[in-house]
């Protein structure tokens, strides 16, 4: 599968906010709202498009990829590239995760060669954690929000 990255547009933002995941991953479901649309369109999000033209996933880099309460715990003080990602639920659990993540990592590495990557993941999401470990990420810090426990994971070069 060939993937391409483009700036998030209104159509892609609306589609991604309409994605619905099955339990327990419904934790990641978001509603279409003016606030969420504005965030998706502020330039920090990218749309990842499959060769069939469908929105395959999304990527955000920087502060947008951080869980705000993590700052209270001091988990975002190191100099890292924070990344957040989401895959269209139609493709989740079908063996695309590794290729999808490698594509994202390679994209980020084009511009940020030497800086470690960091992501934040809910600790219940064992499937994602296993994938991230296969990709070379290591567990770092844990913190709790009102909704779930999270951890940061770091990938050196």
pLDDT of residue 113: 76
Q: For the segment 14-58, what is each residue's pLDDT rounded down to a tens digit?
A: 999 999 999 988 888 998 899 999 999 999 999 999 999 999 999
Domain extent for 40: 3-155
Q: What are phi and psi of 115, to 5 degrees?
A: -90, 130
pTM assigned to the model: 0.92
CA-to-CA separations, 58 to 16, 43, 102, 112, 156, in angstroms, rounded: 8, 12, 14, 19, 22
Domain at 128, CATH number: 3.40.630.30
pLDDT of residue 112: 78
DSSP H/E element including 108: helix 97-109
Quote the percentage of the chain above a pLDDT of 70. 100
Query: Could you give the CA distance from residue 122 to residue 84 in angstroms, rounded to a whole number?
Result: 12
Number of domains in the chain: 1
């Amino acid at each position: 599968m060939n993937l391409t990255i483009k700036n998030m547009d209104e159509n892609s933002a609306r589609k991604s906010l309409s994605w619905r995941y099955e339990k327990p991953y419904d934790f990641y479901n978001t509603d279409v709202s003016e606030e969420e649309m504005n965030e998706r369109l502020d330039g920090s999000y990218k749309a990842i498009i499959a060769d069939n033209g469908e929105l395959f996933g999304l990527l955000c880099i920087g502060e947008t990829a951080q869980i705000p309460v993590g700052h209270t715990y001091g988990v975002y003080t190191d100099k890292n590239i924070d990344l957040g990602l989401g895959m269209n639920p139609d493709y989740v659990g079908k063996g695309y995760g590794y290729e999808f993540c490698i594509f994202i990592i390679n994209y980020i590495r084009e511009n940020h060669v030497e800086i470690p990557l960091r992501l934040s993941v809910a600790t219940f999401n064992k499937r994602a954690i296993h994938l991230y470990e296969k990709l070379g990420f290591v567990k770092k810090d844990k913190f709790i929000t009102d909704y779930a426990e999270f951890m940061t994971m770091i990938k050196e070069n």
